[in-house]
Structure 1
Amino acid sequence: MTDNSTRLDHVVLWVRDPAASTAFYQDVLGLEPVRLTEHKNGEAPFPSVRVSDETIIDLMPVARAPRLTMVPGADGSTGHPVNHICLSVTETAFDALLERLRERAVPMSGVSHNSFGARGRAARNVYFRDPDGNVMEVRHYD
Structure 2
Amino acid sequence: MRFTVDRLDHIVITCRDVEITASWYQRVLGMEREEYGRNNRSALKFGGQKVNLRPYGSEGWITADDAIPGCQDLCFVTAVRTEDIIEHLQTCGVTVTEGPVERLGALGPTVSVYCHDPDGNLIELACYAG
What's the TM-score bracket when you normalise by the shorter of the two chains? 0.7 to 0.9
Query: What is the DSSP-based 3-state SS (H/G/I as helix, E as strand, rest coil) of the residue aligned with 2:120?
Result: coil
Deviation of the 1:108 alpha carbon? 1.6
Give the superposition deviation at 1:101: 1.2
**Contact 1:91–1:141, Cα closer than 8 Å, also in 2:** no
Q: What residue number does 1:127 align with? A: 114
Residue aligning to 1:50? 45
Identity %: 25
Q: Output aligned runs, 1:106-121, within 5 Å.
A: 106-121=94-109
Distance in 2 between residues matched to 1:101 and 1:80, nearest whole Å: 21
Q: Distance in 1 between matches of 2:70 and 2:92?
A: 25
Question: Greater strand share, 1 or 2?
Answer: 2
Ranges in structure 2 where 5+ consecutive residues have no aligned partner: none
Which residue in the other structure is 1:27 paired with?
27
TM-score, length basis structure 2: 0.81
Write out per-residue CA displacement over residues 8-59 of structure 1, whole angstroms, 9 at most, x where no aligned residue.
Answer: 1111111111111111001000111121xx68xx842x21111322x11111
Are the counterparts in 1 of residues 101 and 113 from structure 2 also a CA contact under 8 Å? no
| Alignment coverage as a number of residue pairs | 126
Task: Output aligned runs, 1:1-142, within 5 Å.
Answer: 6-35=6-35, 43-44=39-40, 46-53=41-48, 55-64=49-58, 66-68=59-61, 70=62, 74=65, 77-79=66-68, 82-92=71-81, 94-122=82-110, 124-142=111-129
How does the TM-score come out when normalised to structure 1? 0.75
> Higher helix share goes to which structure?
1
> What CA RMSD, in Å, does the superposition of the two structures yield over aligned residues?
2.6
Moved more, 131-140 or 4-13: 4-13
- The alpha-carbon deviation at position 119 of structure 1 amounts to 1.1
Following TM superposition, where does structure 1 have runs of at least 4 consecutive aligned residues deviating by more than 3 angstroms?
Answer: 80-83, 94-97
